[in-house]
Structure 1
Amino acid sequence: MGEALENKKETYRLQGLSCTNCAAKFEKNIREIHTVNDVQLNFGASKLTVFGEATIEQLEKAGAFDGIKLLPENQRIEEMKRPFWEKAENKTTILSLLFIIVGYTSMFKLGEVDLTTIIIFAVAIFIGGFSLFKVGVRNLSKLQFDMKTLMTIAVLGAAIIGEWSEGAVVVFLFALSEALESYSMDKARESIRSLMDIAPKTALVRRGIHEKKLNVEDILLGDVLIIKPGEKLAMDGEVVKGQSSINQAAITGESIPVLKTVGDEVFAGTINEEGALEVKVTKRVEDTTIAKIIHLVEEAQAERAPSQVFIDTFARYYTPVIMLIALLLAIVPPLLMGGAWSEWVYRGLTVLVVGCPCALVISTPVAIVTAIGNAAKKGVLIKGGVHLEEAGRLQVIAFDKTGTLTNGTPEVTDIIVLGKMNESELLRISVALEKLSQHPLASAIIRKAKEKGISQHEYTAENFQSITGKGTKAEVNNQLYYIGSPKLFEEIGHLPDAVITQINGLQTEGKTVIVVGTNNEIFGLIAVADKLRDSSSNVMKRLQKIGIEKTIMLTGDNKATGQAVANEVGLSEVRAELLPQDKLATIKTLRDKYGKVAMVGDGVNDAPALAAATVGIAMGGAGTDAAIETADIALMADDLDKLPYTIQLSRRALTIIKENVIFALGLKIVALLFIIPGWLTLWMAVFADMGATLIVVLNSLRLLKVKE
């Protein structure tokens, strides 16, 4: 029983989580609940995972200081979008402003020290700062020093030394800053919310002879969905009746609809453009491709990037240092230099306000959240801030050839018969050997044989054996045959010069040559070519334009074929005749030489190389669990065009993070220097802090505008 309790895990969505400091405090409060073993708080996605036992009431009590509400992760909620000025906290801010205006009117007519003026400003402070003081005083009693604690000390200090008007303005500006920060973070989080709203919540289902509308949670595997023209698909499945063009932009970012017919895979959240379809459900609602994307995007936003780790560590030491500076500034000049207490205490309070690390703390997470959300909407799944930053530092990109630079559907272009065997017999033997192979080129030979009316079952191969990276061998009609690369037959020791000349000629045309023969005789050559993607050449030009130093192709093909493809595409370098382990070794060598290296592949065959690269980028993640799981970044559409956009977005994100950190720190330093001679007032300090936070957030939101 105790073990079950320890392993219990609950995930909630949060409402009202306003700032990173509040998130850290909320997490700390939950850890203090004795039945909670661990907690993970995702600020970017507003999600909380609790390990152990805790009721919603206990958790909401831990977040009561910020008015945080919890909802079960899977509970569907319709968020009412209220205008900015209708929210309760914003109403009190506006009311506080009205009292400040009345207070300044009274000050000009009756004077600053008049009791009426003081009472009006005191009311403004109370209305605008009640929730702030409630938290700040509680923090002070526990000696917890965060932004609200610093503000509470500053406002109370201003009142004590008679600066009522300043205190009121500080309260108003701080409340306004929090409201605008909350609004800006909501804008950044909209990328996830829009993903969550992509798939419909209900669907028309046929069970037996009955049709009924069901919630997606009640739909079972094997149910048949009826999809009318113009409707969105609610679940992943397989088309069992009809054909239609499907707009998959929500999942893959592709703008051109894709024709789907019986047997094709379709995804939840995509739009049926024209024909009626019947789709058999193949995945539960929590396992659909869009559900996986949402989950991975949320997890990615929770993962702290290197720059964020640095900022968090910096802020931990920064706040106590600021408090020490404020204290010394308030007491040293009056004690040692005969300065006026009110003047220097005022300056110390101003240091506290300026020192709030709000802009600095939010400088990185808001940029990460925005960039990852923007990428997801365009069909690029970036699995964490660390991968976003690493992609922005790339100098070299290595590409697999088949299925990455090419379409991945090789075709037989030439069949050259050598010796006494005819073409049909050569194909029969080749099919018998290749039908047991997993190699992509094997399917090309089987397709060619089918075109010529040759069945897969005419000959049977016995004692089949795969020769890794080189070919296969098996007995057909009691004769041992080999089929594979020229390298295989060189090792066997039987490849005449005349045949080598023919092979070289085909390879210089960019074709891959497969040799068929026995231990002592060559019966024929089969040339296969995989058509290049239309976008490959343009992608290389764009990558070079945005500053990628080197583009390298890693292929198992021979050098001549690899070089022919490289010349056509515009690659910097080719590494040919590589086995899977050679690709892995090559990636490690490139990392040693250039530092940051990406590998672009299909996420299955290239898994070791993808894992060894600084950033592993998988092609065609939609519907491919292996691609999503293996890679750091998945291009959901089978579209190389998304690669330059991804690199550009990552570089822009890095730039914006640096700008945010430099601006936030720079402004603090300038403001602190202005305080010493008394050039910066208390309300100006709050205004500077508020301005810095807003500029940092707005600067980060520029990432929403990065286009493909």
Structure 2
Amino acid sequence: MSALQKIFKNNTPMLLTVISGFLIMIGSLFTIFDQQPLDAVIFVSSFLIGGYYQAREGVTDFIRKRELNVDILMVLAAVGASIIGFWLEGALLIFIFSLSGSLEIYTTNKSTDAIAKLMQLAPAEAWRIKADGSTEVVAASELSVGDTVLVPKGGAVPIDGKLLSDYALMDESAISGESIPVNKEKNEEVIGGTLNLNNPIKIEVTRVHSDTLFSKIIRLVEEAQSTPSKTATLIHSIETTYVKVVLLFVPLMMLIFYYVLNWGFTESFYRGMVLLTVASPCALMASASPATLSAISNGAKKGVLYKGGSFLENLNRVDAVAFDKTGTLTVGKPSVTDVLYKNECEKELIQSVLISMERTSSHPLAKAVVDYFSKNMQQLTVAFDTISEVEGKGIEGFAQKHHWKIGKKAFVLTDESDPLAIRALKKQDEGKTVLYVSKDGQLQAVIALSDQPAPAAKGLIDYFKTQGIYTIMITGDNEATGQSIAEQLGMDEVRANCLPDKKAELIIELKERFETIVMVGDGINDAPALANASIGIAMGAGTDLAMETADIILVKNELDQLAYSHRLSKKLNRIILQNIVFSISVILVLITVNVLQLINLPLGVLGHEGSTILVILNGLRLLRTGSKPKAEQANNFY
């Protein structure tokens, strides 16, 4: 499809604008060859065609809502110019006004491309496996929870589900933006709209079509684009009043031109029509909305969803950011940080014992131990006669007549004066979880584990420091654990031992200290705090409740996109301010030069509507995502 076809697609006003311009050229030729009144007929046809949509919108708003808008001013100016015989000027006015309106529609269409592209990725049909093993093609919207679906090699997953096959290689770039394929194992979640790159797979449907992550993303972007920012709402709210003032101001000035300055009726009326054109707030009306729509689409491309333009706009004004710890600032699962041995000669034996025993447990700490030693150290084989898990305490077993224990201090340790036990206490003081390992009642090793900071967490906190934004960690963990992570990240404040209701109360308390506070979380326990914050931000890998409560969602679960959003908000506010100052300045200058009789109607139209086009194009710059989205580029947006 050519560039022109893309512009005209779903933009009938743009096509009519082009026809209007073509008729102006024909009418101008007729004027040159003195073909009157045929040239007037062509010019009138031009602004009837070019101004159809704007005139219809203006009249409809006036009849149904009793609202006056800039469309009415343009129509009146064009009609007024034609009444006194300035047919070309009237047609040019409508053409350029129509061009700016068409460009605004193009901007809106452009900024919603993200939704269209997402919708194309989600297949409309699915291969459902029936009870007899055969398949049937059904609409993806007809699938129910528990259905089994076959996804062919190279096919898109039609709906969110659980992998029933042993293995799958998935392209999740549509959701995460990451180009590297992701390995999936049996019972892991697969997301609708992602691509199956390997052999055919089977999935079990876990969500209905309307509740899938894909559907939520599309719905959230659509809702955000239909919710204007505060600035856009404010500008729109003054439009009717402004138009009324202009409609009173123009006749008054025409009387002054005629009776005070003695310009004559035609000149006074003509200057009134120029004034009606240049004083209308077209550029001012377009200062915020196109820019906000472009910024929302920009965020969607990066995997950040804003539930309204006001949330993105206000992100620039944030004074403090409160973070949940687990799963937000940290990776959300424990990992081994330190291993202390009583006798280094027994190191390999203890490693083997740990792997053999912990492999039988489903506890997260046991899994972390197995992962660590399996990847980092040599394995030996130890055959255990029995292994049993003691609920809430640890695990024990017998091998070669030796009694091994792994677990809590009270379950394993018999001598607290042991030097190794004293070293373990220091690890506990650092906020780490400690597992003790004993052989026949004698302490052999100590393993320290903790939840580690997320890869981008330090860069994000550093970025906020450069912006003068206060950072607080709010965690349900103990003080030592919270302080340990906070010190690693360089945070300003830690609030520990916070239950969900306490988190919400703390946010309310912080709002008394800070005018605008952001809360970032991922769990059900964060939902009350997210709801009470000035702006709630949820991690995409978090719970549905957190995402429903939040105002902004980081779909890709990447903290550096929060810094990107803050820079995007700053850029949005700068562009809106530029547009407002520029549009008001142009109006004042054009009014002044019109009173001084230094411009005619075509130049007034060109200056006024040209400023509108420039304002829209300035807002379109926010569609560009930029090449440096990471948090470490603290002061660089593009």
TM over 0.5: yes
* Aligned residue in 2 for 1:401: 325
Partner of 1:202: 125
C-alpha distance 625-88 of structure 1, shift in aligned 2 (>3 A): closer
Match for 2:615: what amino acid?
V
1:337 Cα deviation after fit: 4.3
Q: Which residue of 1 aligns with 2:151?
A: 227
1:341 partner amino acid:
F
Amino acid in the other structure paired with 1:681: N
Distance 1:530 1:141 in 2: 63
**DSSP-derived class of the 2:452 partner:** coil
| Residue equivalent to 2:402 | none
Alpha-carbon deviation of 1:525? 9.8
Alignment counterpart, residue 665 of structure 1, candidates 566, 581, 584:
584
Measured in 2, the distance between the counterparts of 1:687 and 1:83 equals 26
Q: Check conservation: 2:510, 2:517, Cα contact below 8 A.
A: yes
CA pair 671-230 structure 1, distance change in 2 beyond 3 A: same
The aligned amino acid for 1:293 is I
1:310-325 mapped onto 2 (5 Å cutoff): 310-325=234-249
- Distance change (3 Å), C-alpha of 1:502 and 1:184: same
Q: Which residue identity lines up with residue 610 of structure 2 in the other structure?
A: G
Answer yes or no: is 1:359 the counterpart of 2:265: no
- Mapped to 1, the partners of 2:387 and 2:368 lie a distance apart of 10
Q: Judging changes above 3 Å, is the alpha-carbon distance between structure 1 residues 376 and 456 closer, same or farther for their aligned structure 2 residues?
A: farther
Q: How does 1:456-475 map to 2 (within 5 A)?
A: 458=390
Structure 1 counterpart of 2:530 = 610
Compared CA separation, residues 220 and 319, structure 1 to 2 (3 A): same
Q: How far apart, in 2, do the equivalents of 1:234 and 1:81 lie?
A: 34
2:344 alignment partner in structure 1: none
Structure 2 equivalent of residue 531 of structure 1:
452
Instruction: Describe how 1:50-199 pairs up with structure 2 within 5 A.
Output: 82=5, 84=7, 89-90=13-14, 92-108=16-32, 110=34, 115=37, 117-129=39-51, 145-199=68-122
Change (3 A) 1:501 1:396: farther
* Farther off after superposition, 80-89 or 145-154: 80-89
Q: Which amino acid aligns with 1:665?
A: I
How far the C-alpha of 1:597 sits from its partner, in A, is 2.0
Deviates more, 1:571-580 or 1:138-147: 138-147
Mapping 1:37-56, distance limit 5 Å: none
Structure 1, unaligned runs of 5 or more: 1-79, 418-422, 436-441, 462-482, 486-494, 516-523
- Supply the distance in 1 between the matched residues of 2:300 and 2:409 (Cα, whole angstroms): 41
Instruction: Choose the corresponding residue for 1:329, options 247, 253, 267.
Output: 253
The answer (yes or no) to whether the contact 2:432–2:450 under 8 Å persists in 1 is yes
**2:546 counterpart letter in structure 1:** A
What is the deviation of 1:199? 0.5
Q: What amino acid does structure 2 have at the position aligned with 1:627?
A: A
- Is the CA contact 2:67–2:240 (under 8 Å) kept in the aligned structure 1? no
Specify whether residues 538 and 414 from structure 1 end up closer, same or farther in structure 2 by C-alpha distance, changes over 3 A only.
closer
Selected match of 1:260 from 158, 170, 184? 184
Native 8 Å contact 2:69 2:240 kept in 1 = no
5 Å matches for 1:7-22? none
Find the counterpart in structure 1 of residue 432 from structure 2.
Answer: 511
Inter-CA distance 676–701: structure 2 relative to 1 (3 Å threshold): same
Which amino acid counterpart does residue 506 of structure 1 have in structure 2?
A: K
CA deviation profile, 1:438-467 (whole Å, cap 9, x unmatched): xxxx84369769999997875599xxxxxx
Summarize the alignment of residues 400-549 of structure 1 with structure 2, pairs less than 5 Å apart: 400-411=324-335, 443-444=364-365, 458=390, 505-512=426-433, 528-545=449-466, 547-549=467-469
- 1:3 aligned partner: none
- Residue 706 of structure 1 pairs with residue 625 of structure 2: yes
Shift of 1:264: 0.8
Q: Which residue of 1 aligns with 2:521?
A: 601
Q: Tell me if structure 1 keeps the 8 A contact 2:168–2:196.
A: yes
Identity %: 35
- Mean CA deviation greater in 230-239 or 598-607: 598-607
Judged with a 3 Å threshold, the aligned counterparts in structure 2 of structure 1 residues 544 and 132 are, in CA distance, closer, same or farther, namely: closer
Q: Distance in 2 between matches of 1:348 and 1:506?
A: 82
Cα distance in 1 for residues equivalent to 2:270 and 2:257: 12
Shift in Å at residue 171 of structure 1? 2.6
Q: Shift in Å at residue 372 of structure 1?
A: 2.0
Segments of structure 2 that go 5 or more residues without pairing to the other structure are 342-349, 374-381, 394-407, 411-415, 437-444, 630-638
Give the TM-score of the pair, scaled to structure 1. 0.71
In the alignment, which residue of structure 2 is the partner of 1:248?
172
Q: Partner letter of residue 205 of structure 2?
A: V
Matched, 1:684 2:613: no
Aligned to 2:470: 550
With over 3 angstroms needed to count, the CA separation of the structure-2 counterparts of 1:460 and 1:158, relative to structure 1, is closer
Match in the other structure for 1:270: 194
Equivalent position of 1:289 in the other structure: 213
> Quick one: which amino acid aligns to residue 156 of structure 1?
V
Q: Determine if the alignment matches structure 1 residue 377 to structure 2 residue 309.
A: no
In the TM superposition, residue 183 of structure 1 has moved relative to its aligned partner by: 1.9
How far, CA to CA, are the matches of 1:557 and 1:584 in structure 2?
16
Change (3 A) 1:134 1:182: closer
- The CA deviation at 1:158 is 0.9
User: What secondary structure is seen at the aligned counterpart in 1 of 2:122?
Assistant: coil
Q: After TM superposition, give the deviation of residue 107 of structure 1 in Å.
A: 3.8
Distance in 2 (CA, whole Å) between partners of 1:258 and 1:85 is 39
Q: Is the 8 A contact 1:249 1:379 kept in 2?
A: no
> Corresponding residue for 2:346?
none
Letter matched to residue 274 of structure 2: T
Cα distance in 2 for residues equivalent to 1:394 and 1:231: 43
Structure-1 separation of matches of 2:564 and 2:329: 17
The answer on whether the counterparts of 2:163 and 2:189 sit within 8 Å (CA) in structure 1 is: yes
CA distance 1:459–1:651, shift in 2 (3 Å): closer
- Is contact 2:69–2:239 with CA below 8 Å preserved after alignment? no
Q: Secondary structure at the match of 1:241?
A: coil
1:322-348 per-position Cα deviation (integer Å, ceiling 9, x unaligned): 111112112233134433121121122
User: AA paired with 1:196?
Assistant: M
Asked if 2 retains the 8 angstrom alpha-carbon contact of 1:331 and 1:341, the reply is no
- Say if 1:527 and 1:331 are closer, same or farther in 2 by CA, change over 3 A: same
Distance of aligned partners of 1:286 and 1:565 in 2 relative to their CA distance in 1, 3 Å threshold:
closer
Q: Provide closer, same or farther for how the CA distance between residues 409 and 343 of structure 1 changes in structure 2, counting only shifts above 3 A.
A: same
Tell me which of 612, 624, 633 is aligned to 1:693. Answer: 612
Q: Distance in 1 between matches of 2:304 and 2:497?
A: 31
In 2, the alpha carbon distance for the partners of 1:84 and 1:304 equals 24
Q: Distance in 1 between matches of 2:321 and 2:123?
A: 39
1: CA distance, partners of 2:338 / 2:112: 55
- How many angstroms apart in 1 are the aligned matches of 2:183 and 2:230? 43
Residue 250 of structure 1 contacts residue 379 of structure 1 at CA under 8 Å; is this kept in 2? no
Q: Which moved more, 1:580-589 or 1:353-362?
A: 580-589
Mapped partners of 2:208, 2:63: distance in 1: 50
Distance 2:593 2:13 in 1: 32
CA distance in 2, matches of 1:101, 1:506: 83
Q: Could you tell which deviates more after superposition, 557-566 or 208-217?
A: 557-566
For the 8 Å contact 1:243–1:276, the answer to whether it is kept is no
Question: 1 CA distance for matches of 2:52 and 2:500?
Answer: 65
